[in-house]
Structure 1
Amino acid sequence: MKSRIGFLYRNKASFTHAAKHTLVKLTILPILDFGDVIYKIASNTLLNKLDAVYHSAIRFVTKAPYTTHHCDLYALVGWPSLHTRRQTHWLQVIYKSLLGKALPYLSSLVTIATPNRATRSSRYISLVTPKANSSFGHLSFQFSAAHDWNELQKSLKLETHISLTSFKHQLSEQLTDH
């Protein structure tokens, strides 16, 4: 991926600002997004390397100096941080699993909880969080999907399934970089 960014930098005089924006969006971002839900369990060292590539791509588009803070970089292009992108994609995979639109083996790992008693929060769609006896168990799809979904529901408060498009819109409102 660094070679792609290197190619872009070597030829930057040939591109307009709009072309640079489009090139990064069509060549670099898909690589960073591909399989990003798997990065959830990656070490911070590896994630920081991906962030550095992302920041370099944004600097290519904006001509911002190396000393520009990453929050300012995101604002210049109107893109979220990679962490927010990963979190968004992760929660979308969970929701697709709930809707049965994900791979069948993933959908089989999410179970909607049935409340024991009526409370305000029992109206919201929540998932059964399986017992995990180790830190490795906490990394499993079944545990982390249920945990992260239930955390999201504290603010999203979905009572019924909505369209995937509506979910994506509500999710983008919830997950904003601060």
Structure 2
Amino acid sequence: MTNLSAIMPVLKDTPRVTCPERLVTSRLDYCNSLLFGLPHKSLHKLQLVQNSAARIITKTPSINHITPILQQLHWLPIKHRIEFKILLFTFKAIHNLAPPYLSDLLHVATPTRTLRSSASIHLTVPSARLTTMGSRAFSRSAPRLWNSLPPQLRNMDSLHLFKSTLKTHLFRTAFSL
């Protein structure tokens, strides 16, 4: 992070947030969906990196609380970033925008009778043989996260609209807004 603060004066012509933000968030988001289900202790180190980046970008002292800074930057905490990525992969898989190997892992539930909730896309959650790793698998975690979304979010067809609404939903959940 100290290298990032050293190059900030050079980036006068670019918007203050864009370049460093993209640099940091691309590293935080790289393969982060593999981190789903890890204990808080394991994710805490990544959260500290995100917090440090937010402080450097906004030039906020370390004595100030980080939550308002993350809200100002409109950054999701690490746990919610991971959920965002998994849910985005799930949306793409359901709508045939993802590779077949991901789409084949998800199965849309077909209800035995017509219910009001039948209008929204529901996924079946397969059982897991291993309690530690099995529940972290995409085939199990994606349907659980998907089914926990509000029905209006699950019924969207537009990827752009889904991403925007999903981020807003997770942002409100993360910061209790």
Larger CA deviation: 13-22 vs 120-129: 13-22
Please tell me whether residue 62 in structure 1 is matched to residue 58 in structure 2.
yes
Is contact 2:84-2:170 (8 Å) kept? yes
Correspondence for 1:174: 169
Q: CA deviation at 1:109?
A: 0.6
Deviation at 1:16, TM superposition (A): 4.1
Report the residue type matching 1:74 in the other structure. Answer: L
After superposition, the C-alpha distances for 1:119-160 in whole angstroms (9 at most, x for unaligned) are 1112211011112243132222111111111111xx233575
Per chain length, whose mean CA-contact separation is higher, i.e. which structure has more relative contact order (CA < 8 Å, sep 6+)? 2
Is the CA contact (8 Å cut-off) linking 2:51 and 2:66 kept in structure 1? yes
- The residue that corresponds to 1:34 in the other structure is 30
Q: Which moved more, 1:43-52 or 1:95-104?
A: 43-52
The 1:159–1:85 alpha-carbon spacing in structure 2 relative to 1, beyond 3 Å, is: closer
Alignment partner, residue 127 of structure 1:
123
User: Counterpart in 1 of 2:152?
Assistant: 157
1:52 pairs with one of 28, 48, 51: 48
Partner of 1:148: 145
Identity within the alignment, %: 29
Alpha-carbon distance, 1:19 to partner: 4.5
Q: Which amino acid aligns with 2:160?
A: T
Q: Which residue of 2 aligns with 1:71?
A: 67
Is the Cα–Cα contact under 8 Å of residues 123 and 159 in structure 1 kept in the other structure? no
Deviation at 1:15, TM superposition (A): 4.5
What RMSD, in angstroms, separates the aligned Cα atoms of the two structures? 2.2
- Which residues of structure 1 form unaligned runs of 5+? none
SS at match of 2:145: helix
| TM-score normalized with structure 1 length | 0.85
Change (3 A) 1:18 1:83: farther
Report the Cα distance in structure 1 between the residues aligned to 2:156 and 2:83, rounded to whole angstroms: 20
How many residue pairs end up in the alignment?
A: 172
- Structure 2, gaps ≥5 residues long: none
TM-score (norm 2): 0.85
8 Å Cα contact 1:20-1:60 kept in structure 2 = no
